[in-house]
């Protein structure tokens, strides 16, 4: 019960890594809000996790929706201990000059602007209490980019710098801010990174991961649990690779 008595908002918590993080958090005694643009999937996930999970329709790229999400959590629990900025999208593998402006805007809004919007909605109440943890799910793409995912890579680099900047500014208020850098993982998003899900493409990706497997939602749940628990009370500003050695 490493998160006993805590409360957490997990954006994009209805699928993939976010779902793995939500499952682990509930298992460790945390009450969670599954905040997802796919409200139906969020409700299924919350039902599956039991009475310590609730679903919230939320679009992390829209200020009004993020404010509603924060208000719903406050009304439910009184305060928010943990915020996991996990929702993310990518454009398909494309030469950088061919990515549409619409796709660029969508990737930056969901992956980067969301960190700004959730900070505006939630940091003030963390400051008031003098305690809080924020975890941003970035990517190895922000450290060791692969070609043809240029603007996605750049959005994750932004997220890593935002994590460090937030950590240094918020440390005096007792708020820790860290990031996870997952390597390619077994989630619905994987196909979008690979372009096509074929044995050859999988082998190509796996060849770059020394531990020889894709990451999993359980891997992210375990790493997130540690960084968001009091065991990590001296850790802030870290962007931790969960990548089987890919960034060595
Ligand atoms: N899967 C990978 O290979 C991989 C690798 C590195 C980093 N990541 C990052 O991990 C995070 C989770 O990815 P995943 O692989 O679990 O993807 P996923 O597609 O399985 O899940 C993403 C979830 O986010 C939700 N979402 C999308 N846009 C949203 C919005 N505007 N507001 C609220 N929710 C929204 C989706 O409905 C979905 O439930 C992302 O930030 C992604 O960039 C993924």
CATH of domain 7-242: 3.40.50.720
pLDDT at 125: 97
Segment 81-108 mean pLDDT: 98
The residue among 241, 97, 65 whose CA lies nearest residue 156 is 241
What pLDDT, in 10s, does the model give residues 41-65? 999 999 999 999 999 999 999 999 9
Q: pLDDT-derived band of residue 220, with 50, 70 and 90 as boundaries?
A: very high
* Spacing, Cα 79 to ligand 1 middle (Å): 25
The full set of domain ranges for the chain reads 7-242
pLDDT at 6: 98
User: Is the minimum distance from the CB of 12 to ligand 1 under 6 angstroms?
Assistant: yes
List residues with catalytic annotation.
Answer: 152
pLDDT at 49: 98
DSSP bridge pairs for 11: 35
pLDDT at 176: 99
pLDDT at 188: 96
Percent of the chain scoring above 90 in pLDDT: 100
With vertex at residue 57, the alpha carbon angle to CA 54 and CA 59, rounded to the nearest 5 degrees, is 130
Task: Give burial (CB, 10 Å; 0-12/13-18/19+) of 153.
Answer: buried
The residue among 104, 95, 244 whose CA lies nearest residue 183 is 244
Q: Residue whose CA is closest, atom 31 of ligand 1?
A: 59
User: Ligand 1 pocket: which of 63, 87, 213, 247 to mutate (most atoms <8 Å of CB)?
Assistant: 87
Q: pLDDT-derived band of residue 189, with 50, 70 and 90 as boundaries?
A: very high
pLDDT, mean over the chain: 98
pTM above 0.75, yes or no: yes
What pLDDT, in 10s, does the model give residues 133-164? 999 999 999 999 999 999 999 999 999 999 99
Q: Residue whose CA is closest, atom 14 of ligand 1?
A: 16
User: Is the minimum distance from the CB of 107 to ligand 1 under 6 angstroms?
Assistant: no
Q: Residue whose CA is closest, atom 3 of ligand 1?
A: 184
* Spacing, Cα 114 to ligand 1 middle (Å): 13
Distance in angstroms (rounded) separating the CA atoms of residues 20 and 178: 18
* Spacing, Cα 148 to ligand 1 middle (Å): 19
* Spacing, Cα 59 to ligand 1 middle (Å): 12
Residue pair 178/136 in contact (Cβ under 8 Å)? The answer is yes
pLDDT at 142: 98
What pLDDT, in 10s, does the model give residues 156-169? 999 999 999 999 99
Q: Residue whose CA is closest, atom 40 of ligand 1?
A: 88
């Amino acid at each position: 019960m490493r998160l006993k008595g805590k409360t957490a908002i997990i954006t994009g918590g209805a699928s993939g890594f976010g779902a793995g993080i939500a499952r682990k958090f509930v298992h460790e005694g945390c009450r969670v809000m599954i905040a997802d643009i796919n409200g139906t999937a969020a409700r299924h996930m919350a039902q599956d996790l039991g009475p310590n999970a609730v679903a919230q329709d939320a679009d992390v790229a829209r200020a009004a929706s993020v404010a509603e999400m924060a208000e719903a959590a406050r009304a439910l629990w009184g305060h928010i201990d943990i915020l996991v900025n996990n929702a993310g999208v990518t454009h398909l593998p494309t030469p950088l000059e061919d990515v549409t402006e619409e796709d660029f805007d969508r990737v930056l809004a969901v992956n980067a602007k969301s960190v700004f919007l959730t900070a505006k909605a939630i940091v003030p109440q963390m400051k008031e209490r003098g305690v809080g943890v924020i975890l941003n799910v970035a990517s190895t793409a922000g450290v060791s980019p692969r070609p043809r995912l240029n603007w996605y890579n750049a959005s994750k680099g932004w997220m890593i710098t935002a994590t460090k900047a937030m950590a240094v500014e918020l440390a005096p208020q007792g708020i820790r801010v860290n990031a996870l850098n997952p390597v390619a993982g077994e989630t619905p998003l994987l196909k979008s990174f690979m372009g096509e899900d074929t044995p050859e493409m999988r082998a190509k990706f796996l060849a770059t991961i020394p531990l020889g497997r894709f990451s999993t939602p359980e891997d992210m749940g375990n790493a997130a649990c540690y960084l968001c628990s009091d065991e990590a009370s001296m850790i802030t500003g870290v962007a931790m690779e969960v990548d089987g050695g890919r960034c060595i």
